[in-house]
Amino acid sequence: MMDFFANNLAQSLFVIGLILLVIEVTVLGFSTFVLFFVGLAAMATGALLFMGILPTNLLNALSSTAVLTLLAALLLWRPLKRMQSHVSTKKARSEFTDHQFVLKEAVSPTLSPKHHYSGVEWALVSEEYIEAGTKVEVIEAEVGKLHIRAISPN
């Protein structure tokens, strides 16, 4: 196994870098950046080794990966942090929002009757008392709960 890695150092580093990038983005949700920087550096080092710019040996590969990781961190840390801080606080609309129906039972902060919709039994949630027979709309959906409000008759 070690012979394969040593004989295919450029390709191995490129694949390892790609795997680290995938782990950072898919598993960690691009939250730490550490694997991102190391992955970029490993891929760049693999490319440099493959093109013959760097002599192919383990010491050069490790040194180059370390230096490129540091450079990537220094150059990309602030822009990535800034990008991460511009996350929308707006709630995503779901397929359930704006669904309208007539209540069969009263709903209040202390009463949460069930409503069957889309093959699921949902607990109805409201911050105010709503009488049975009132037309309501879904304003938010979360696991097992539909938040509703009465629709004002026009």
Output the six-digit token pair for 135. 């037309």
Distances (CA, A) of 37 to 13, 33, 69, 100: 14, 6, 5, 48
Residue 63 reports pLDDT greater than 60:
yes
To the question of pTM greater than 0.85 for the whole model, the response is: no
Q: What pLDDT is attached to residue 90?
A: 59
Residue boundaries of the structural domains of the chain: 2-85, 100-150
- Given phi > 0 = left and psi -120 to 50 = alpha, else beta, which region is 103? beta
Q: What pLDDT is attached to residue 94?
A: 63
> What residue type is assigned to position 43 of the chain?
M
> What residue type is assigned to position 79 of the chain?
P
36 touches 10 (CB < 8 A): no
Q: What pLDDT is attached to residue 61?
A: 93
- The domain 100-150 having CATH identifier 1.10.760.10: the answer here is no
- Write out pLDDT tens, residues 75-117: 998 888 888 776 656 555 567 777 899 999 999 999 899 988 8
Q: What pLDDT is attached to residue 147?
A: 92
- Write out pLDDT tens, residues 33-44: 899 999 999 999
Q: What pLDDT is attached to residue 130?
A: 93
> What residue type is assigned to position 49 of the chain?
L
Output the six-digit token pair for 21. 């990038």
pLDDT band for position 49 (cuts 50, 70, 90): very high
